[in-house]
Amino acid sequence: MAEPRSRVVLVRDPRDAVSGGGGCCSGDVRPFDEGGGHRHADAGGSGALYLALRDALPDDVGLEVVAPTNWAWLVPALLTDGRRRGLRGRALLAAVRRGLRVASVLVDGVPVPTGTAEQTVDAVLERLALLPR
């Protein structure tokens, strides 16, 4: 598979373990009399945003979800993506700092404004339109 032309990274909220793949019972488990111990409430949050982004993004754009505590992956990815887009010095360090925030969304290392899932998808698509192909 060819390398994606761009990468979107969703830094999930650490409390959003259900939508981030945190395990079977890491989320809001319902009592057995309400449907069983393994039925979770609608995850919403980063899960809903991930699905909205996956539906809206072109095939040549990668989408990854990462926990904000996964610095071993996140910091090098932010540095690599920021450099690829021409960021250097203070601008690069500022982008890395903003990228480490919980629930941030990054397009090639550059944070985009977030809001509702629809607003965030629009911001990501707008940012991608500004990038050279």
pLDDT of residue 98: 84
> pLDDT higher for 32 or 63?
63
pLDDT of residue 101: 79
* DSSP state letters, 21-54: T--TTSS-BPPGGGT-TTPBPP--HHHHHHHHHH
The mean pLDDT of the chain is 77
> pLDDT higher for 108 or 41?
108
pLDDT of residue 15: 61
> pLDDT higher for 22 or 58?
58
Give the start-to-end residue ranges of the domains of the chain. Answer: 6-130
Q: Average pLDDT of 45-70?
A: 88
pLDDT digits (tens, 9 = 90+) for 72-107: 998 999 899 888 888 899 999 998 888 887 778 989
Q: Average pLDDT of 111-125?
A: 91
